[in-house]
Structure 1
């Protein structure tokens, strides 16, 4: 079991370990630098170790903010998919986990932000306490610097009789720090699975508060609250000797009054590259927004599923890709991802959209779905399309055997794949590396996806005509039915075709026994690399991932299951 886990997840584990290692190195290295650097010795007299905690977490925060935009740069991910380095094997599977890495980095940002805030709250209290009448010695002397001409201050809080938080919020660091914290709280809380399912629009809008987050981060250090001794002052003022002779600073030649300055802001240097890259992504999206999209056909399917056929100049796609769609008449800002359900060989591209939120409900109404009277194509709202972008399903043809598993509307990503297979079967000269496809479809009500059953029927017919019925093995599992349906199914059980789908392959009732299915596949394909692709709920994904590990052989010459989950 452990050997199978290493086979499937070793590279992911090493990448996460590398990310943790870099964070740990940056934190420790920065921490000890601020604990030992001479220029910050007097700062440490007032603040203690919380200075190092604040600065070390700030560096790790900058590092993670540099990474956070890269996994969601869709054009970058699509470009990497096309490079020779990532076009095969385990590196390609890492690109399928871009959103997982995005979330992991977000957790890193949240943890380091928390440490940074707590450390600076302690620093504020230390600054404030050192201005009290009870403060004495070197700490009191350092806090009073700046009260006389030709002196620079070290303590940004100039009097004890003040509200520390209120005064801090009048500074650049305080205001931007508050904006960063509020933006991060909004982003994290709205990213929970519950919020995304209940109101995707709320998640989408609040996620774009990241613009405020990055602007505030870039100028956060401009206030230069963290101050240290200047290099010129260090040459004249030997801190090792003078720290014990602070009473003589005003008179002794060998100990002139130390001069201090704020540390230059550096966050912008960390995030400039990724931000520029993301701006380029937005420019590309705006350019694609301007391109005309011609809607050629609108089909309203049962249970609130809308099918749109579109054309766009120079649009090139591959099976398994997805696009982002915007409808300006509904929202001028929102873009939503939808898997392409057409094949590259067709002269149009299509998507199937199910009503699952405010935006999709408004779109279906605008295009005459949900039982409304169909509208003429000329009167339909304008759509903008960005993409196509690569996804996990593009790797289906890279394996000799592929297992495709869909649940409910998750069947849409496999439509383009099966259509592409259908067209390739029509071309007798086409040779595919892919020799066998197992397709599993789990749904509560197949009538909601009649369009897909029709696709399977045409594919079944074509493969039979070509004598390649062995190429596709499909299994449909119905998990919801009523008493009338059960009676009807029983009466027509001996018919040549299935009473539900009209296909030769009979529908199964209940949920699949994945142990049995994976055992059979492993038995029929020994010494074979098998790709497993799924689109469905998290519970199904976890189950399939466990099955891939369980039935993969520890022997390199045995059967190996490689798991891919569709996510965008």
Structure 2
């Protein structure tokens, strides 16, 4: 009797247990919202942004807690998670174990896992929509919602497999399996489980990244799962219909977006298999937002996400496509981009490593979407670390800060709030620095004006070459000669900042930023390869102290 008592569920009624679990996860989202919503509301009071210039002093306990939350995980197989995400995962997993605790003695006990399957499926439906209420109203960043979506999907698959496996084993043991299969409700339940298992298999990281289209379109069989679950379970609508309604609203909004007139202004190809497209007809509302793009000449079915590299409110938006996967390679090779000689008006140098088309191509754009973790204008120091094409969110953030700072300068009498932007960009070849040369020049010009409330410091590392002594002193000509490209003007970077050879010492670079901006808090954006992101996180944690903390937001582009 004692063993049976030990394994008794904490709530006897299984339906109530599933409802309690559902509400606990919603409570986790409420906590997530309270971590960010106050900062967003404060940012709406623009007069408070002036507090960003004051020196900071933090408690020692706050500093150490911040360091722990900034460091990447030390667990080898979880290197893509930071400690707060591991904590979230442990809490979410613990809730599944807590409410799924069961004696597993009678066949009726197995129904608990069926209820938890439906509860997790209902949660998974709430999180992934692009026009998500949890993002727009509660200000929970989209990457965090997608984490909860994946975890709920895994939990739903695990509970469904337990429910199906234990029930089938019981019927096989009692020789009733053939009889039970004659019940259409059971057959529909098995069909729903099979649909869920197929979605889970195609969501495995390796398959998702290599065959994104398979992952994306297979996910639409969630409708098969929902239909089967609603027929199989008596109280399924309570868990599933809220997410299904939000999904339907999201589809209506996205369908409406299809009728917007997106006008392509220019399409430019660069060395390094990068195609940059500038367009009109859709504006971002916050920096670093994502848009899903379809190019009919490439594919009528495929939509792929790209970061918009322009400031909120800009009339002309920019996306950069690098040929890394099947779809992006088709964009690069497509005949929609005829090669022609660039016009002088579109190039700042007499020679160029890019080619510009004079014929606009058709483009459909869904979005922009996304809520960031950081309110950038509340921090006096903005640190941007990028690898390769991961520069796109950094360009968007820098453009937003410069645009806002100069707008304040026009209506305020200096001295007002001051912002300092530090950009570290690593590229594999000298010519790749030209991808956003024009944008960096446009950013540097207002920062160089007298009494400008914003400064820009750019450091570019060319990782495929070793720099000589002249380049180490910041002379770009010396770098080009050392790399053997000094005679190729089309490969030269003519924008602002310092160009160096070799991989950067990220920690030393952060230390220099800290020394230059002593006593100020900093907001950090990282986008690039996992090794660069982990190095930047370690560096941000190392330089954080009582005199200033480095708050990190990262974006992984290895999609």
C-alpha distance in 2 between matches for 1:499 and 1:312: 33
C-alpha distance in 1 between matches for 2:483 and 2:535: 34
C-alpha distance in 2 between matches for 1:337 and 1:434: 34
Bigger Rg, structure 1 or 2 = 1
C-alpha distance in 2 between matches for 1:179 and 1:463: 61
Identify the residue that residue 27 of structure 1 maps to in structure 2.
100
Identify the residue that residue 534 of structure 2 maps to in structure 1.
542
Q: Structure 1 333/282 Cα, relative in aligned 2: closer, same or farther at 3 Å? A: farther
Identify the residue that residue 66 of structure 2 maps to in structure 1.
4
Q: In the alignment, is residue 100 of structure 1 matched against residue 179 of structure 2?
A: no
Q: How does 1:125-524 map to 2 (within 5 A)?
A: 125-128=172-175, 157=176, 164=177, 168-221=180-233, 265-312=234-281, 315=283, 317-344=285-312, 346-366=314-334, 368-369=336-337, 371=339, 377=359, 380-381=361-362, 383-392=363-372, 395-424=375-404, 426-427=406-407, 428-429=409-410, 435-466=419-450, 468=452, 471-481=455-465, 488-490=480-482, 500-503=492-495, 505-524=497-516
Secondary structure of the residue that 1:181 maps to in structure 2?
helix
Quote how far apart the aligned CAs of 1:329 are: 5.0
Identify which of structures 1 and 2 has the higher relative contact order when contacts are C-alpha pairs closer than 8 Å and 6+ apart. Answer: 2
Name stretches of at least 5 consecutive residues in structure 2 with no aligned partner. Answer: 1-62, 71-81, 342-355, 469-476
Quote how far apart the aligned CAs of 1:186 are: 2.8
Preserved contact between residue 393 and residue 566 of structure 1 (Cα < 8 Å): no
Preserved contact between residue 304 and residue 370 of structure 1 (Cα < 8 Å): no
C-alpha distance in 2 between matches for 1:10 and 1:365: 41
Preserved contact between residue 436 and residue 472 of structure 1 (Cα < 8 Å): yes
C-alpha distance in 2 between matches for 1:113 and 1:491: 58
Quote how far apart the aligned CAs of 1:20 are: 3.9
Name stretches of at least 5 consecutive residues in structure 1 with no aligned partner. Answer: 36-47, 87-91, 129-156, 158-163, 222-264
Identify the residue that residue 156 of structure 2 maps to in structure 1.
109
Identify the residue that residue 120 of structure 1 maps to in structure 2.
167
C-alpha distance in 2 between matches for 1:513 and 1:363: 35
Q: Number of paired residues?
A: 457
Q: Structure 1 549/69 Cα, relative in aligned 2: closer, same or farther at 3 Å? A: farther
C-alpha distance in 1 between matches for 2:91 and 2:462: 44
Preserved contact between residue 467 and residue 482 of structure 2 (Cα < 8 Å): no
Q: In the alignment, is residue 68 of structure 1 matched against residue 68 of structure 2?
A: no
Secondary structure of the residue that 2:337 maps to in structure 1?
coil
Q: Structure 1 486/354 Cα, relative in aligned 2: closer, same or farther at 3 Å? A: same
Q: Structure 1 446/430 Cα, relative in aligned 2: closer, same or farther at 3 Å? A: farther
Q: Structure 1 447/558 Cα, relative in aligned 2: closer, same or farther at 3 Å? A: same
Quote how far apart the aligned CAs of 1:482 are: 9.0
Preserved contact between residue 448 and residue 455 of structure 2 (Cα < 8 Å): no
1:22-65 deviation line (CA, Å, top 9, x unaligned): 4344324xx47xx8xxxxxxxxxxxx43531x222222222211
C-alpha distance in 2 between matches for 1:370 and 1:355: 17
Quote how far apart the aligned CAs of 1:284 are: 0.8
C-alpha distance in 2 between matches for 1:440 and 1:534: 10
Quote how far apart the aligned CAs of 1:365 are: 4.2
Quote how far apart the aligned CAs of 1:376 are: 6.3
Q: Structure 1 402/72 Cα, relative in aligned 2: closer, same or farther at 3 Å? A: same
C-alpha distance in 1 between matches for 2:299 and 2:533: 32
Q: TM-score, normalised by structure 1?
A: 0.70
Quote how far apart the aligned CAs of 1:559 are: 2.4
> Is the deviation greater in 268-277 or in 8-17?
8-17
> Is the deviation greater in 420-429 or in 110-119?
420-429
1:501-528 deviation line (CA, Å, top 9, x unaligned): 2245331222222222333334444443
C-alpha distance in 2 between matches for 1:478 and 1:167: 69
Q: Alignment RMSD, CA only?
A: 3.8
1:46-95 deviation line (CA, Å, top 9, x unaligned): xx43531x222222222211111222122125x744x4x64xxxxx5x55
